[in-house]
Amino acid sequence: MKLGLTGGIGCGKSTFGKLLAARGWRLVQTDLVAREILETPEMTAAVRELFGPGVVGSDGKPDRAAIGRLVFADKTALAALENRLHPQVRARWEALVASDPTARWAVEIPLLFEKNLDAPFDLTVCVHCSQAVQFARLAARGVPPEEAAARMQAQLPVSEKVRRASLAVFNEGSPAFLTAQADLLDARFAASRS
């Protein structure tokens, strides 16, 4: 069973993915995979070449905050970064899933529908909430409203992700409510347990 997990920024897809992992699903968080790849010497050199030395910190590692501010303000820069990074991220998660094809996999991909990556999955799940809640959660993480808006605009509207998904998970209630939804999904697909 291969589940593609997505949702808008600040909607709680990572939290839901961790709930699935606690229930025995093999979780791949592509944002974490992208961070690992971004910090390789080859990708650090590529980022410096694309955007200049200002996006690499004094420790020699990419400054993700500086890169984020740059690419979410410039679609051409965002496309250049994605063209370098995304093929490697996809190759990594595909290799992980192929390493144990009988397991129940949950692959968290923020741009699942934007990049037409949903076809390999048996099921797609979108975690969603209102835009007001997204802004509040991002503000709690220290993301300024203008940066939050730019990141949201770089993705499909959450309502469109919900429309395209096989299942939608609503995440504005309590942690117990989100946990109950994870339990329901897990029970529904328990037959595919490896």
| Structural domains of the chain, with CATH | 2-192 (3.40.50.300)
- The dihedrals phi and psi of 118, each to the nearest 5 degrees, come to -80, -20
The two beta strands, 167-170 and 105-108, are: unpaired
Distance CA(82)–CA(183), nearest Å, equals 34
Q: Does the predicted model carry a pTM greater than 0.85?
A: yes
Per-residue pLDDT tens, the chain, 194 aa: give them.
Answer: 999 999 999 999 999 999 999 999 999 999 999 999 999 999 999 999 999 999 999 999 999 989 988 998 898 999 999 999 999 999 999 999 999 999 999 999 999 999 999 999 999 999 999 999 999 999 999 999 998 998 898 899 999 999 999 999 999 989 999 999 999 999 998 755 54
Q: For residue 37, count other CB atoms closer than 10 A to its CB.
A: 17
Q: What integer pLDDT is reported at residue 15 of this predicted model?
A: 97
E strands, the chain, in order: 2-7, 26-29, 105-108, 123-128, 167-170
- In the prediction, which pLDDT does 191 show? 58
